[in-house]
A and B are shown apart, each in its own frame.
Chain A
């Protein structure tokens, strides 16, 4: 077992340092990230030894009650991102397709379902779950995906059903979701064989909110010109707010990261050496192409300074009441970015365009993620109308490399940047003329 753990540490180390090396070189903090993730995954992998329970949970699921009960939460979607970044996604997707799953199914689901049967991927598969927690605030795919895994591992599944909030948050929705939180707590009590710790969850809730506030602060630093961090850096640092929110590690890490970013601002260090153009990214990262995309945009002196994806983990803080975490959490988890109407989403996008003062909007039309990609055409239109900035849609998939066509995407990005440069040249000559 010891040998297994040390092998695992090695593998995770190679993953974190190998794949993300180029990014992490620019952030000395990465060592801490590596350490935290090493400890996290090895604790999860050795849960049987330490008699802890493991729960698999969706990325937008309410994790705080699990942490309060010492259950180790594991995120198949974070694992999917690691699979994508290590370019192991296509193989696993093919395995899932050989099992009979459609190639139209979300590649996180395909990769995870396949991985469970072969213990593949960069860390040799996830630890076996004792329970599954699925919240459908992100999509409908997770429902069937988690049902498949519940059957495969023969473990109990809890489904938290969060109705879609086109606008606002109705009385009925509030009651409906809140009542399920009670069921959720009973589910955890049954799985753990002890009473729920209401005192502890308050502390966890406090840490969770604090973590989200700090994450927002990290992202806020990119409003500075030039931006000290890019969306690609955010994709990397995001791992903690996804996997460990509600724990003190997140607080320490992001506190240090904010300080680091402020220091970079003070010293004039930017994420892209000659930042001339600032862009906003929509949808999940293309995990297998982050480096290529960073380089591609950087070659045009363009920096993706913000994105709608990483900010989703701090987008609903305003609904959280620290003194009443359990009650308010229901609303916060229900009103996340993927569970609101297109007009609401567009409003958030426009707020980001203004806040980060961007010159263009890049939308990743993600073959996998239907709820994220479905309204993009409308959002693009709204942005073009309201802000008149150039928008670019690129078609790809976050994990499945087979949908990525390099030379074609390259041409689109080049043409998009030609338009932005042309406009900026024009607008700067107008403002010069005014002066």
Chain B
């Protein structure tokens, strides 16, 4: 059975095609202002990538904040379910998931069968999300993709005490003015995200092993800061950013 999952996030739209136990193709594009259009586009592109026609797909599930805009999906699930299904598919031993997306972050607890036991979402505030990193990258005039490697050069991370993105931005600017090293500031930013996100997981009770998903998982600095903070290994899948879409495709197979 070949199924597709479409995950419409606030910044990127993701799609995955799964055939039984195998990931055939994945695709990531920018969502833009029209979630419906993004859904169609990312689906068309993932089909091309997989070299398949629409008729080859048995079932489609949508997820993400724009899940209801995907008219051609057979069913929609929340990203909580999708991330749980995706992580369980990638590694059935996983018990905790931290997902850091563009606009929100969440912590999910799974039982032994990969079912969601509990979750918490931070969606009121940009701190602890991808948006926070983007704002900081702009303030520091550093390419966001370089954040991970740069922060690992830091010997003494700066202290970022503000919880609010807006205040943290001015704090960072004052740190630059004071002449602190960029790598230290960036490492400090990563620690502040880790503190914020790990407290969410602490709220529902963290259980090993844990996986980090979402676009921010590509930032090795955040991953490192999180493993330090939680005092455990954080598993990062190469499919971290498309984990929601993969999960949606897995859920589609069970429809």
The yes or no verdict on A and B being binding partners is: yes
When the two chains form their complex, are residues B65 and A418 in contact, meaning their CB atoms are under 8 A apart? no
When the two chains form their complex, are residues A422 and B116 in contact, meaning their CB atoms are under 8 A apart? yes
Q: How far is B123's CA from A377's CA once the two chains are assembled, in angstroms?
A: 18
Q: Is B80 an interface residue (CB 8 A)?
A: yes
Q: How far is B116's CA from A349's CA once the two chains are assembled, in angstroms?
A: 24
Which residues does chain B contribute within 8 Å of A415, judged by CB atoms?
A: 78-81, 116, 119
Q: Give 1 or 0 for each of B99-133: 1 = CB within 8 Å of chain A CB.
A: 00000100000000001111111011000000000
Q: Is A186 an interface residue (CB 8 A)?
A: no
When the two chains form their complex, are residues A418 and B116 in contact, meaning their CB atoms are under 8 A apart? yes
Q: Is A408 an interface residue (CB 8 A)?
A: yes
When the two chains form their complex, are residues B118 and A390 in contact, meaning their CB atoms are under 8 A apart? yes
Q: Is B30 an interface residue (CB 8 A)?
A: no
Q: How far is B77's CA from A377's CA once the two chains are assembled, in angstroms?
A: 27
Q: How far is B81's CA from A422's CA once the two chains are assembled, in angstroms?
A: 11
Which of the four size classes fits the interface of chain B? 10 to 19
Assuming A395-B124, A408-B121, is B115 touching A422 (CB within 8 A)? yes
Q: How far is B123's CA from A408's CA once the two chains are assembled, in angstroms?
A: 7
B interface, by DSSP: helix, strand, loop or mixed? mixed
Q: Is A322 an interface residue (CB 8 A)?
A: no
Q: How far is B118's CA from A394's CA once the two chains are assembled, in angstroms?
A: 14
Which residues does chain A contribute within 8 Å of B115, judged by CB atoms?
A: 422, 426
Shortest B69–chain A CB gap in Å is 11
Shortest B62–chain A CB gap in Å is 12
Which of the four size classes fits the interface of chain A? 10 to 19
- Closest Cβ neighbor of A403 among chain B residues: B124
When the two chains form their complex, are residues A411 and B78 in contact, meaning their CB atoms are under 8 A apart? yes
Q: Give 1 or 0 for each of B57-94: 1 = CB within 8 Å of chain A CB.
A: 00000000100000000000111110000000000000
Residues in A374-388 with C-beta less than 8 Å from chain B: 377, 384
Which residues does chain B contribute within 8 Å of A405, judged by CB atoms?
A: 123-124
- Closest Cβ neighbor of B10 among chain A residues: A407
Which residues does chain B contribute within 8 Å of A412, judged by CB atoms?
A: 121
When the two chains form their complex, are residues B78 and A418 in contact, meaning their CB atoms are under 8 A apart? yes
Residues in A100-140 with C-beta less than 8 Å from chain B: none
- Closest Cβ neighbor of B104 among chain A residues: A408
Give the contacting residue for B79; candidates A377, A411, A419; CB below 8 A: A411
Q: How far is B203's CA from A384's CA once the two chains are assembled, in angstroms?
A: 12
- Closest Cβ neighbor of B117 among chain A residues: A419
Which residues does chain B contribute within 8 Å of A393, judged by CB atoms?
A: 120
Which residues does chain B contribute within 8 Å of A395, judged by CB atoms?
A: 124
Shortest B81–chain A CB gap in Å is 5
- Closest Cβ neighbor of B203 among chain A residues: A377
Q: Which 3 A-B pairs have the closest CB atoms?
A: A415-B80, A415-B78, A408-B123
Starting from the known contacts A377-B203, A395-B124, A415-B78, 9 additional A-B residue pairs (CB-CB under 8 Å) come to A408-B104, A408-B123, A411-B78, A411-B80, A415-B116, A418-B81, A419-B118, A419-B119, A426-B115
Chain A residues with a Cβ under 8 A of chain B: 377, 384, 390, 393, 395, 405, 407-408, 411-412, 414-415, 418-419, 422, 426
Chain B residues with a Cβ under 8 A of chain A: 65, 77-81, 104, 115-121, 123-124, 203
27 contacts between A and B (CB under 8 A): A377-B203, A384-B118, A390-B118, A393-B120, A407-B65, A408-B104, A408-B121, A408-B123, A408-B124, A411-B65, A411-B78, A411-B121, A411-B123, A412-B121, A415-B79, A415-B80, A415-B81, A415-B116, A415-B119, A418-B78, A418-B80, A418-B81, A418-B116, A419-B118, A419-B119, A422-B115, A426-B115
